[in-house]
Amino acid sequence: MHFRRFILFSIVILVLFFLLINTSLFQENAAKAASHYYVRSHYASSDFTFVNIAYDANLGNYTVTYKDNAEQQFSFTMTPRYFPVYVGYDPLDKHL
């Protein structure tokens, strides 16, 4: 009986997890958090401020925009769509 409850509870949690991952609220927050960590770890000496996040349906990725002290804006591309934690394009890194 306890094993059956455990299996049912596990299935419900997995279904809720997959539903949560497919919401844009989760995806935008994941992209914002990952880009924030990336910017802070790679450009710690610079002072970047978050400006905007937008989903590009044509490319299937998120564009996260930051600005520096000189008000110049930089847009980082975060991929893949469902769990956007990889920086696909960094405008400041010439090797990426």
65, 43 contact by CB (below 8 A)? no
Predicted confidence at residue 92, as pLDDT, reads 87
The answer to whether residue 38 scores a pLDDT higher than 60 is: yes
SS3 annotation, the chain = CHHHHHHHHHHHHHHHHHHHHCCHHHHHHHHHHHHHHHHHHHCCCCCCEEEEEEEECCCCEEEEEEECCCCCEEEEEEECCCCCCEEEECCCCCCC
pLDDT in the model for residue 18: 82
Please provide the average confidence, as pLDDT, over all residues in the chain.
Answer: 88
pLDDT attached to residue 27: 87
Assigned token pair, 55: 């989903």
Domain ranges of the chain: 2-89
pLDDT tens by residue, 13-22: 998 888 877 7
